[in-house]
Structure 1
Amino acid sequence: MKKIVSFFFISILLMGLLAACGTSDEKSSNGSDAKDSDKKVLTMGTSADYSPFEFIDTAKGDDIIGIDIDIAKAVTEKLGYEFEIRDMDFGGLIQALQSGQADFVLSAMSATDERKKSVDFSEIYYTSKHMIVSKKDSGITKVEDLKGKNVGAQLGSIQEDKAKELAEEVDMKVENRNRIPELIQEIKAGRFDAAIIEDTVAKGYLDNNEDIEGFTIEDADGGYAIALPKDSELTEEFNKALKEMMDNGELDEIFKKWFEGE
């Protein structure tokens, strides 16, 4: 009798282990079941604080969404890949590519000459401008008004480079922060007199914060492109997919979706 009971419980235990093994696959962050697919999974590095390019709408969930996410979905789908997203500070994205922590970066990153020394870039998919953001009624309405001011910029961004360039012209102090919301908070707290932010991103904050304002300066350095490791085989593939999206209007539809609403 004991042998029969023991055999029964061993059978139940084995069935439970088999069931557990059948449910152990993990889904990648873009919603695809990576282990159930023969497709190669690429890791996308981004800094999800840059609405509408990459951000988290906490009112709707904790997924990273935005223009760059939609572009990544379209490009990888065309090329037969899956992808997962790794969120990190903007200043660490180049290093993530160099160390193999990311296969590509889509994070509103400008293809500057300096960055091209470290990584490769796809074709430009968007051209941006800078905006000087400050408290409402601050009196800062032109670059010359930044003289003697404390001005913030995102670490590792072209806006940080622009701030340093302006500092040579108007004698202002430049500080950096890792994330855009930190810059806005520092302005509101009075620790920054102003900050330099990409214009489309800045407009999103202006629309949702009545106590800040801004003006645009025209000379942004380069346009946004997909960053990849040096000599990556993916660069040519990504360019092919991007060109297809440009030619068939798919890229314009993504911008229209996020800039104008569907």
Structure 2
Amino acid sequence: MRKWLKVFLAIVLGLTLAGCSSKENTASSDNEYQAIKQSKTIAWGIRTDVRLFGYVNLKTGKVEGFELDLARALTKQMLGKDGKAEFVETTAKTKIPQLLNNSVDVDLATMTITDERKKVVDFTNPYFNAGQSILVKNSSKINSIKDLNHKNIVVLAVKGTTAVQNMKKFAPKAKVQEYDDYGQAMAALKSGQGDAMTTDNGILAGLADENKGYKLVGGTFTNEPYGMAIKKNQPQLKRALNKALAELKANGTYKKLLIKWFNGVKGFSMKEAMK
């Protein structure tokens, strides 16, 4: 009798532990979204050095931009009128580490969706259809990537970016001059050291907005969309973000934000960005 009682208790205990384990696994896979709903707060990782997306307005001293406005709209769409968006400054090097160490819930920081990054984080659907484009003076006769494919053309780009590699593919005859950052490359373009500058259309839009007399040409010749990054195994949070983004696009809020920040930039394609 005792033997059968022990067997019975072992079976019950085993089933109980299995049930607890299953419940814990389910909870852990969705704990981020549950915590967000409970606190009614989303911590967003945002850039403060990319004009039009997230940057410091020198007149007001405040950080502003398309991505901050989009984060606020997404927060309200997901959590209601009492939802609160908190912002944490991030950089190209720190945005994924900050996400993984729980400093932020979501990275909304001009992050291109790549297979390499997908090994570490999950991405939402694209919120900005970024792609490589070309920036030139308003008086330039360059109109497309084909016009760069000549040996007497000098194109300016930033070291270590995909823009440099893409030029070898799309305009192999052009001479590419590399700089440490976008500020240096823009200064070189303004001083006549190159015929054109190339990188993501959104970044070029910011440079054109800040430096009057320059325009984007040729649309985009690569497809490198930006997505919101979250930690892996957070399916509820990913679904909620995608749903909120789709709703903002459907109700016109997304388009209004794009117009607010990019409408005045010469040569920037609103239609391409919204694809």
Shorter-normalised TM range:
0.5 to 0.7
Matches within 5 A, 1:66-145: 66-80=65-79, 81-133=83-135, 142-145=147-150
Taking a change above 3 Å as real, the CA distance of residues 64 and 138 of structure 1, as seen in their structure-2 partners, is: same
Aligned to 2:15: none
Taking a change above 3 Å as real, the CA distance of residues 114 and 216 of structure 1, as seen in their structure-2 partners, is: farther
- Measured in 1, the distance between the counterparts of 2:90 and 2:159 equals 13
How many residues align? The count is: 218
Gaps of 5+ in 1: 1-37
The C-alpha deviation readout for 1:121-161, integer Å capped at 9, x for no partner, is: 11122213322235677886623147784632376xxxx21
The C-alpha deviation readout for 1:160-217, integer Å capped at 9, x for no partner, is: 2132132353474564545x43432343466776532322442443354356555335
- Measured in 2, the distance between the counterparts of 1:190 and 1:109 equals 31
The C-alpha deviation readout for 1:215-242, integer Å capped at 9, x for no partner, is: 3353232322211122234212211211
- Measured in 2, the distance between the counterparts of 1:95 and 1:54 equals 19
SS in 2 for 1:45: strand
- Measured in 1, the distance between the counterparts of 2:218 and 2:96 equals 27
Taking a change above 3 Å as real, the CA distance of residues 124 and 207 of structure 1, as seen in their structure-2 partners, is: closer
SS in 2 for 1:131: strand
Aligned to 1:255: 258
- Measured in 1, the distance between the counterparts of 2:72 and 2:90 equals 19
- Measured in 2, the distance between the counterparts of 1:245 and 1:84 equals 19
- Measured in 2, the distance between the counterparts of 1:214 and 1:250 equals 25
- Measured in 2, the distance between the counterparts of 1:128 and 1:62 equals 28
Aligned to 1:62: 61
Aligned to 1:166: 167
Q: Is the 8 A contact 2:151 2:173 kept in 1?
A: yes
- Measured in 2, the distance between the counterparts of 1:165 and 1:177 equals 17
Taking a change above 3 Å as real, the CA distance of residues 53 and 118 of structure 1, as seen in their structure-2 partners, is: same
Q: Is the 8 A contact 2:155 2:198 kept in 1?
A: no
Farther off after superposition, 135-144 or 90-99:
135-144
Matches within 5 A, 1:210-229: 210=212, 212=214, 214-216=216-218, 218-229=220-231
2:157 to 152, 161, 175: 152
The C-alpha deviation readout for 1:103-134, integer Å capped at 9, x for no partner, is: 21112322233322222111122213322235
Q: Is the 8 A contact 1:120 1:227 kept in 2?
A: yes
Q: Read off the aligned partner of 1:165 and give its amino acid letter.
A: N
Gaps of 5+ in 2: 1-37, 265-275
Q: CA deviation at 1:66?
A: 1.5
- Measured in 2, the distance between the counterparts of 1:77 and 1:146 equals 52
SS in 2 for 1:218: coil
Q: Read off the aligned partner of 2:43 and give its amino acid letter.
A: T
- Measured in 1, the distance between the counterparts of 2:202 and 2:257 equals 15
- Measured in 2, the distance between the counterparts of 1:174 and 1:44 equals 35
Q: Read off the aligned partner of 2:167 and give its amino acid letter.
A: L
The C-alpha deviation readout for 1:13-52, integer Å capped at 9, x for no partner, is: xxxxxxxxxxxxxxxxxxxxxxxxx735433222223232
Q: Is the 8 A contact 1:154 1:183 kept in 2?
A: no
SS in 1 for 2:104: coil
Q: Is the 8 A contact 1:112 1:221 kept in 2?
A: no
Q: Read off the aligned partner of 2:168 and give its amino acid letter.
A: A
RMSD: 3.3
